[in-house]
Chain A
Amino acid sequence: MMRLFTVLVASAMSLSAWAGTAFQTLDRQSASALVQPARHNRPTIVALWSSECPHCKKNLALYAHVAKRDKRLRLVTIAAEPAWAGLAVPLDKLGVPGERYAYSEDAPEAIAHALDPGWRGELPRTLVFDGRGGHVAVSGVLDEQTLRRALGLPGTTRK
């Protein structure tokens, strides 16, 4: 049975590699490092989402759109849950590019606090870095104009 289990885990992992970029895991230290404003020398979106959040899809679709239009933009997604076999599906369906993170086995509260102490678990939550040391954290669905302003990017390209 363990052999079958290993084969199944291996196939799930290889399929997820096919399905898109592999998830990297975040603990409280790597989460804290990821959101240091000094690390972001170009416009960056850090999008917190989860598989159980219908509103998150709207933001992910917008971020994928903006990232495709503007190559200066760095898009980072963080699933606020550990990686599991179906986690990449919403990102792949929406064509969301960029680095993908998921929670490690560290305490979820500790990872969340390291990412954004003002975040209380509501989703979607977006950390927007303008690449010049400024950043804002926004809960809920964002419109493109607000997003571009926070990123320091000009114009709106989506109706």
Chain B
Amino acid sequence: MLRIFSFRHTAGLLRSLLLLVGLAGAGAAPAQQHQHDAPAPKIRAERPQYGTSAAFAANGALLAVTRQGDHVMLYRSEDLGKTWSAPIVVNAAPEPILADGENRPKLLALPSGSVVVSWSRRLGKQFTGEVRIARSADGGRSFAPPLTVHRDRQEIGHSFETLIADRQGRVYAFWLDKRDGEAAKNAKRPYRGSAVYAAVSEDEGASFRHEARVADHSCECCRIAAALDTDGAPLIVWRHVYEPNVRDHAMAKIAADGTNQGIERATFDGWKVDGCPHHGPSLAIGSDGVRHAVWFNLKDGAGRVFYGRLPPGRVEGQRFVGGPQAAHADIAISGQRIAIVWKEFDGERTRLMAEVSTDGGASFQTVSLAATDKISDQPRVLLRGDELFAFWRTELEGMRAFPLR
């Protein structure tokens, strides 16, 4: 144990040192963190994490949050990602942050100019964390100290959070929570997966008044998708664990106090696996109430990204998105325009691909937007007013935005 401790201690020192090195060049965008002219150490201090989220602020600036050492950093671009400002430190006090795959810092840019940033703070034990939120009342120039969203403070899993604001300015946080799984384990009862929890803030994330369990038995490592329904209430979709181990999706409407207004099954692919898909869904709802979704599942022996519409109790128009290597799709809607983005390995390079519809989803045009040779993050669709953009961070090219016309 002593040896393991000293090993971890060394890793911790290394982490701190790398943070110092990283902060010394804080004016550079994340792509420039890697010095390609210097030989990289064979063993990194920690797992490389490229998880980044972006959103357009009310004034049109593109904001992005990502992790740098033990800090979440907010970057700002006034020219659609061509150049980025020196980053703002979101959490002044350092803390371990998860920013990998489906679990990454998020941000909400509210019409009032406030910016809400969330992340999962890693706790001591493996697979444990807590959901943190920090608010900026000045458009992301400075942040109040972060708060922990959930009341449960056990050293267990609370992570994979998602944020959405409704038209009244309420901020909803949804996350995957292991408290019910832990309680079952202590009582020697079986429990499938994690639970989805919700908390609601009525002061733009400065505090959270309501907390509720949305559903038992979610998957443990897939992001939660959220969109506002036509009645203004959030609708969320997550990968569920149906008995005994079927990883299809479930959907729930959320009330203003965080409680669910009924849970329905959203997909019917029947992927049975005791494993971690690391591949969550995305949802966009039209003004006509049509729920457009993209998701990943293994169906008929092949893992594919799907698009479909989700009327209650069934899927309409389910089809493949991209080829057999398509992955991590995201979807957004603006009037009659719908955009789907994903990444896809073409045998040599990883491509950023998009499908754009201008007729409410009746037809889609496929376009290849970019390609990269090394590590790339999952792409996202962003809205600036009614314009749609793809956002993609890659190791070599940095953070970029691509208009989707």
Question: A: which residues have CB within 8 A of B?
Answer: 1, 4-5, 8-9, 11-13, 15-16, 18-19, 23, 25, 51-56, 58, 81-87, 89-90, 105-110, 112-113, 117-125, 139-141
A contact face: mostly helix, strand, loop, or mixed: mixed
| Known interface pairs A53-B276, A118-B302, A140-B274; A107-B296 also in contact (CB < 8 Å) | no
| Known interface pairs A109-B350, A120-B279; A9-B43 also in contact (CB < 8 Å) | yes
A113 in contact with B17 (CB, 8 Å): no
Q: Which of B11, B20, B47, B245 contacts A81 (CB 8 A)?
A: B47
- CB neighbours (8 Å) of B46 from chain A are 84-86
Whole-angstrom distance between the Cβ of A99 and the nearest chain B Cβ: 17
Interface assignment of B2: CB less than 8 Å from any CB of chain A: no
B375 in contact with A107 (CB, 8 Å): yes
Q: Which single residue of chain B is at the shortest CB-CB distance from A28? A: B348
| Known interface pairs A86-B8, A89-B4; A5-B17 also in contact (CB < 8 Å) | yes
- CB neighbours (8 Å) of B23 from chain A are none
Chain A CB count within 10 A is highest, among B7, B40, B221, B278, for B7
A120 in contact with B327 (CB, 8 Å): yes
- CB neighbours (8 Å) of B8 from chain A are 86
A108 in contact with B375 (CB, 8 Å): yes
Interface assignment of B189: CB less than 8 Å from any CB of chain A: no
Whole-angstrom distance between the Cβ of A149 and the nearest chain B Cβ: 18
- CB neighbours (8 Å) of A140 from chain B are 245, 273-275
Query: 1/0 per residue B367-405: CB within 8 Å of A?
Result: 000001111100000000000000000000000000000
A8 in contact with B275 (CB, 8 Å): no
- Some 28 contacts from A to B, beta carbons below 8 A apart, are A1-B21, A4-B17, A5-B17, A9-B41, A11-B10, A12-B7, A12-B43, A13-B42, A13-B43, A15-B7, A16-B43, A58-B274, A82-B44, A84-B44, A87-B47, A106-B374, A109-B325, A109-B345, A110-B350, A120-B279, A120-B296, A120-B303, A122-B275, A122-B276, A124-B275, A139-B273, A139-B298, A141-B275
A139, B48: Cα distance in complex, Å: 24
| Known interface pairs A107-B374, A108-B375, A110-B345; A52-B100 also in contact (CB < 8 Å) | yes
- Sorted nearest first, the 10 A-B pairs with minimum C-beta distance are A120-B303, A140-B275, A141-B274, A109-B345, A85-B11, A140-B273, A84-B44, A140-B274, A122-B277, A15-B7
User: Number of residues in B with C-beta < 8 Å to the partner?
Assistant: 53
Q: Which single residue of chain B is at the shortest CB-CB distance from A54? A: B127
| Known interface pairs A105-B40, A105-B374; A85-B14 also in contact (CB < 8 Å) | yes
Interface assignment of B6: CB less than 8 Å from any CB of chain A: yes
- CB neighbours (8 Å) of A13 from chain B are 42-43
Interface assignment of B188: CB less than 8 Å from any CB of chain A: no
Q: Which of A12, A51, A54 contacts B11 (CB 8 A)?
A: A12
A121, B151: Cα distance in complex, Å: 33
A90, B42: Cα distance in complex, Å: 19
A84, B296: Cα distance in complex, Å: 29
- CB neighbours (8 Å) of B48 from chain A are 81-82, 84
A121, B273: Cα distance in complex, Å: 13
B327 in contact with A121 (CB, 8 Å): yes
A105, B44: Cα distance in complex, Å: 11
Q: Which single residue of chain A is at the shortest CB-CB distance from B296? A: A120
| Known interface pairs A12-B10, A86-B11, A113-B345; A107-B43 also in contact (CB < 8 Å) | no
A123 in contact with B4 (CB, 8 Å): no
A113, B350: Cα distance in complex, Å: 11
A43, B276: Cα distance in complex, Å: 26
- CB neighbours (8 Å) of B276 from chain A are 52-56, 122-123
Interface assignment of B45: CB less than 8 Å from any CB of chain A: yes
A25, B143: Cα distance in complex, Å: 41
Q: Which single residue of chain B is at the shortest CB-CB distance from A19? A: B7
| Known interface pairs A54-B276, A121-B279, A139-B298; A83-B44 also in contact (CB < 8 Å) | yes
Q: Which single residue of chain A is at the shortest CB-CB distance from B4? A: A89
A109, B350: Cα distance in complex, Å: 7
A109, B41: Cα distance in complex, Å: 22
B303 in contact with A51 (CB, 8 Å): no
A89, B41: Cα distance in complex, Å: 19
Whole-angstrom distance between the Cβ of B181 and the nearest chain A Cβ: 11
A15, B10: Cα distance in complex, Å: 9
Taking A15-B7, A141-B275 as known contacts, 5 extra A-B pairs with beta carbons closer than 8 A to each other, sorted by chain A number, are A12-B11, A107-B345, A107-B374, A122-B279, A140-B274
A122 in contact with B45 (CB, 8 Å): no
